[in-house]
Amino acid sequence: MKFLALIRRRTEEFSDEQVARVLEPEAERVRELYTQGVFRNVFSRGDEKGAVVELECGDLDEAKKVLDTLP
């Protein structure tokens, strides 16, 4: 089953410095999930900093669990 996730940076909660520390670990995790076929497509957002991700998961709970693995 395919899901779309709209991901945005929570700039109201985290400083630019805090975000910068997790960018590379997050990118690595995204690459892993893409290689595994879980993330089918990843697009940059034009309206704010973040991404739109197409996921292939068994159900909504699985999709949420996968997204929770992102730093």
Determine the pLDDT at residue 70.
95
pTM (global) more than 0.95: no
Determine the pLDDT at residue 63.
98
Which CB contacts under 8 angstroms, 24+ apart, belong to 56-65? 56/1, 56/2, 56/3, 57/1, 57/3, 58/1, 59/1, 60/3, 63/3, 63/5
- Alpha carbons 41 and 49: distance in angstroms, whole number: 17
Determine the pLDDT at residue 60.
97
Burial group, residue 63, by CB count within 10 angstroms (0-12, 13-18, 19+)? buried
In tens, the pLDDT along 9-56 reads 998 999 999 999 999 999 999 999 999 999 999 999 999 999 999 999
